[in-house]
Amino acid sequence: MTELKSFNLSDQALGAVMMALQKSLMEQSDIVPVLKNMDFVPTTEGLVVKNPPLVKFDADGMILNDEGDTEE
């Protein structure tokens, strides 16, 4: 039987997962699609996310959606 290789999350990947959770909570949206779309790459530091989620805010601290509009 082939032995499975084990990986740990790097600090960057852990931060990306936490950012996805925070964004999901703020937008009251499902986190599953964001997590499924993350591209993980093995490095010497552990797994790194190539495409971490972005959270954008306007000058008043309101979260912006992907089009730059304020979330309601």
Does the pLDDT value for residue 72 go beyond 50? no
Average pLDDT over residues 24-28: 89
The predicted model gives 25-29 an average pLDDT of: 89
The answer to the question of residue 5 being in a domain is no
Residue 71 pLDDT > 80: no
Domain contains 16 = yes
Residue 25 in any domain: the answer is yes
Residue 66 has pLDDT above 70, yes or no: no
Query: Is 56 inside any structural domain?
Result: yes
- Across 19-36, average pLDDT: 92
In a domain, 18, yes or no: yes
Range of the domain at 38: 11-64
User: What is the CA angle 48-5-43, rounded to 5?
Assistant: 25
CB 15 within 8 A of CB 53: no
Written as six digits, the tokens of 47 are: 């797994």
Domain count, the chain: 1
Position with higher pLDDT, 60 vs 45: 45
Q: Is 71 a member of any domain?
A: no
| pTM (two decimals) | 0.74
